[in-house]
Structure 1
Amino acid sequence: MRLLLTAAILFTVASSLCARADQKIDRITVDAVETFTMDRLSWKDEPILPKGAKSALLIGDPAKAGVFIAYLKFPPNYKIPPHTHPFAEVVTILSGKLGNGVGEKFDAPKGGVLKAGASFALPAGHAHFVWTTDEETIVELIATGPWGIAYADPKEDPRQEAK
């Protein structure tokens, strides 16, 4: 009986190790030591978000498979309509305040406003919307690429205006 139990345990451990060996693990790749300070970042207009948003890429490439980290800067009284992303994301408020709500309709009273230092995580495909209050807000976005955004109402997609 003890031999059968030992064999079962060894089989379970071996199966687990083999399964892990087959999994592709996304890693953050860093080629050199680098410090990121707000005054030295290169902010660019973010075309997949409503006009006024800017982004600064720190690590990775949102267009490619793998983890990336970016800062997003939003002006006062700014809204991003309900949307989803293909992969999970973690957002941390670095400065200002950010409203966060869930659902396919923008309904700020059903959400809440978070202050600098707060974070939230969203699963892939989870409809949500965000907004700022009366001050500029900067957030850190950690997500997996290829990153994308699908607006609940295609008419609210700023990329449609560019066409």
Structure 2
Amino acid sequence: MRLFFMTLAFAGAAAAQPAEFRSVQAKAVHWQPIPNGQGAQSALIAGNPSQPGTYVIRVKFPPHVMDRPHHHSRDRHVTVLQGRWVAGTGPDFAPDKAQVLTAGSYMFHPAGGVHWDGSNSDETVIVQIIGEGPVTSADVDPALASWVKLPG
């Protein structure tokens, strides 16, 4: 009887598999400038953050470029792909007190959690973000520019 239920569980899991596999080669990643992003860029890898379902995006931070405190309407999972990414939490923007995460590191951003992040060094940083759409973002202080270039 136990084997029967295990077989049903595996059959259900197999039925839930995607209809086709997809891959994106690194050279095919299409980077686009983020408006007023001080040179930051983003790339849509899969899905669409404005639509229901899972999405994958990448953000490229040039040296000494960070975003100011903001939050998102849904959880996000961030993995550092390249460089030394720095991230802080809370409404006070303090790049010198940010947590340093190197390539391969991961950070969870809970829905509504105020944070800020980017590169506070001489290197370019790339992070990959996975979440469920639709998602929205809001700056803590809309009177300030969303992106800032730190002194280098």
Query: Is this a same-fold pair by TM over 0.5?
Result: yes
Contact 2:68 2:146 in 1 (8 A): no
* Partner of residue 141, structure 1: 129
Larger Cα-atom Rg: 1
For residue 100 of structure 2, what is the aligned residue in structure 1?
Answer: 113
* Higher helix residue share: 1
Deviation at 1:35, TM superposition (A): 2.2
Of stretches 107-116 and 75-84 in structure 1, the one that deviates more from structure 2 is 107-116
Residue type at the aligned position of 1:67: T
**What whole-Å deviation, never above 9, does each CA across 1:31-75 have from its counterpart, x for those lacking one?**
64332232221111223x723221111111111122101111111
- Aligned-pair CA distance for 1:116: 0.3
How far off its partner does 1:30 sit?
A: 5.8
Q: 1:109 to 1:56 in 2, by over 3 A?
A: same
Q: Give the counterpart of 1:66 among 36, 45, 53.
A: 53
The yes-or-no answer on 1:57 pairing with 2:49 is no
Q: Which residue of 2 aligns with 1:41?
A: 29
* SS at structure 2 position matched to 1:155: coil
User: Displaced runs of 4+ in structure 1, greater than 3 A?
Assistant: 29-32
CA RMSD of aligned residues (A): 2.1
How many corresponding residue pairs? Answer: 130
Match of 1:128 in 2: 115
Cα deviation 1:126-158 (Å, max 9, x = unaligned): 000102021111110001222221111102245
- Could you list the runs of 5+ residues in structure 1 that have no partner in the other structure? 1-28
Which of the pair is proportionally richer in strand? 2
Deviation at 1:111, TM superposition (A): 2.3
Q: Distance in 2 between matches of 1:51 and 1:62?
A: 22
Distance 1:101 1:39, change over 3 A: same
Name the TM-score, length of structure 2 as normaliser: 0.77
Higher relative contact order (CA 8 A, sep 6+): 2
CA distance in 1: counterparts of 2:95 and 2:40, whole angstroms: 19
| Unaligned ranges ≥5, structure 2 | 1-16, 148-152
